[in-house]
Amino acid sequence: MVLKQMLYSTAVAGLLTAPAIAQDLDAMSVDDLLPLAQQEGTVTVYSFTSRIASVEAAFEEAYPGIDMIGFDMSSTEQITRIRAESDAGISNVDVVYISDAPVVVTELLEAGLIANYVPPRMDGRLDDEFTSPLLAQRLSTKVLMYNEEANPDGAPVDNLWALTTEDWTGRVVMVDPLQRGDYLDLMTEIVLQSDAMAEAYEAQFGEAIALDADAQNAGEQFIIDLFANDVILVSSTDDVNAAVGATGQDNPPVGFTSYSDRRDNEDEGWALQVANDVAPSNGIIFPALIGLATNPANPAAARLAIDFLMGDDSETGGPGFAPFAVPGDYATRNDITNHPDAVALDEFIAWRIDPVASAEIRQDVADLILVLQ
């Protein structure tokens, strides 16, 4: 009996997601989606940022009768879950809001575990690089931040290599790159940018870099030196923020975290500030991606939620985008003005990651870090 029911519902799900119907839904406007979505009544979102809680409140206010269930989960964890759910032939999620592009693109999108959906309303409002292979909602960062209360004259660091010197022994904080993909992406990018790292080395120490036996390039050498200098690993970005940003510290550490977390300075009692004058760069800037589950239980509500996450037609993006319209986040939409308090995107020195190149050497970098731990 139960088995029969299950087969039946699988069949129905299969029918609903048949390409024809999916394409129909893809083309539908918000007004057409809404009644279908209300019928579905609920939508489940995995989100790599805790700001989903605010989106949830705004969404439910905008669309009464549709319950958004947002789960705050790191990108790494989302990827593992989605793969496990796919192995198990189930789908707990409708929408994934995720970073970690190198893995998402190669292992989720190309493997068919998630699909791309660009709301029709977004036509012409995004550059092509932000609609394909996956829709990018904004650009997020993992960059070097410092405590501006303790350093009123600006960043205490002007070269990444300074972090490997005695001054910063045990005073650089980041999340364990083996636990959070964003940080592995940061390390990977540093390896990819080995030439720039080698140049910066000379700028810092006045001599050409000499590689250890186990380092193949300047990037790897940097990672080796950073770990040798007792970099402190924590388990979440908020731990980095608290460590670096908490006010009232005499000698606060610096750390790699999200530029946008500066928005919480006042609420949390932090004094986070970005170091934007660092050679060769202060970190990475990467897209926050939105994907549609391949077999969503709530296909209409899922599309409605994605549309909502992209912001309304106002200049700020309205309530759906409000949690992201903060200094340190950069909208991908060309018609939304970035926050005036932040460093302008074209002046921001972070490296833009290359998902495909990253994906190629990511595992090697992870193994290197494993050895260093």
Partner 1 sequence: MTFSGTIARVRAGQLPQGLVLKLVVLALLGVLVAAPLMRIVLETLAPDAIGAWTDVIASRLSRNLLWVPLSNTLILGFGTAVICVAAGGFLAWLVVMTDVPFRRTIAVMATLPFMIPGFATALAWTTLFRNNRLGGQSGFLESLGLTIPDWLSWGIVPSLVVLSAHYYSLAFAIIAAALASINSDLVEAAQMAGARRARILSGIVLPVALPALLSAGALSFAEAVSNFAIPAILGLPVRMQTMATRLYGLIEIGQSGRGFVIAILLIAVSAFFLWLGMRVINGRRTFATITGKGGRAKRMPLGAARWPLFAFAAAICSTTTIIPVLVLIISSLSTSSSQLFSSWTLHYWLGASNPDFAQGQAGIVHNPFILDAIGTTVTLGLVVAVTGTIVGLLVAYTLARYRTGLASGAIEQLSFVPLLLPGIGFAAAYIALFGTPIGPFPALYGTLTLLVIAATASLIPFAVQSGRAVIQQVSGDLEESARLTGAGFLRRLAAITVPLAARGIVAGALLIFVKIMRELALVVVLFTPATPVLAVLAYRYASEGFAQFANAIAVVILAISALATILANILQNRSQPWLKS
Instruction: Give the tokens for residue 358.
Output: 């990253």
CA distance 90 to 21: 20
Binder of partner 1 out of 106, 249, 294, 316 (CB under 8 A): 249
Minimum separation from the CB atom of position 155 to partner 1 (A)? 16
Out of 173, 191, 200, 223, name the contact with partner 1 by CB under 8 A.
Answer: 173
Q: Is 302 in the site for partner 1 (CB under 8 A)?
A: no
Asked if 149 touches partner 1 (CB under 8 A), the answer is no
Q: Are 182 and 142 in contact (CB under 8 A)?
A: yes
The SS3 assignment for 130 reads helix
* Host H or E run for residue 283: strand 283-293
Among 115, 178, 211, 361, the residue binding partner 1 under the rule CB under 8 A is 178
154 Rama class: left (phi>0) / alpha (psi -120 to 50) / beta: left
Nearer to partner 1, 108 or 192 (CB): 108
Q: Are 299 and 273 in contact (CB under 8 A)?
A: no
Which residues within the stretch 152-171 sit at the binding site for partner 1 (CB under 8 A)? 170-171
Report which of 55, 151, 118 is spatially closest to residue 289, judged by C-alpha positions.
Answer: 118
208 is a contact residue toward partner 1 (CB under 8 A): no
Which residues from 86-105 bind partner 1, rule CB under 8 A? 87-90, 92-93
Q: Which stretch binds partner 1 (CB under 8 A): 21-29, 130-138, 196-204, 234-242?
A: 234-242
Burial class (CB in 10 A: 0-12, 13-18, 19+), 36: middle
Q: Does 313 bind partner 1 (CB under 8 A)?
A: no
Give 103 or 118: the residue with its C-beta nearer to partner 1: 103
Contact 238, 117 (CB under 8 A): no
236 binds partner 1 (CB under 8 A): yes
Residue 253 contacts partner 1 per CB under 8 A: yes
Kindly indicate which of the ranges 11-19, 216-224, 231-239, 343-351 contains the residues binding partner 1, using the contact rule CB under 8 A.
231-239
Give me the least distance between CB of 344 and partner 1, in Å please. Answer: 26
CB of 141 to partner 1, least distance (A): 18
Of 104, 50, 71, give the one whose Cα is nearest residue 241: 50
Burial string for 135-147 (b: 16+ CB within 10 Å, else e) reads bbbbbbbbbbbbb
Reference 221, options 244, 242, 204, 240; nearest CA is 204
**According to CB under 8 A, which one of 50, 116, 151, 159 is a site residue for partner 1?**
50
If one asks whether residue 42 binds partner 1 (CB under 8 A), the answer comes out as no
Residue 131 as a binder of partner 1 (CB under 8 A): the answer is: no
What percent helix, strand, coil does the chain show, rounded to 5? 45, 20, 35
| Residues in touch with partner 1 (CB under 8 A) | 3, 6, 44, 46, 50-51, 53-54, 57, 69, 71-73, 76-77, 79-81, 83-85, 87-90, 92-93, 170-171, 173, 176, 178-179, 181, 232-236, 238-239, 241-246, 249, 252-253, 264, 267, 367, 370-373
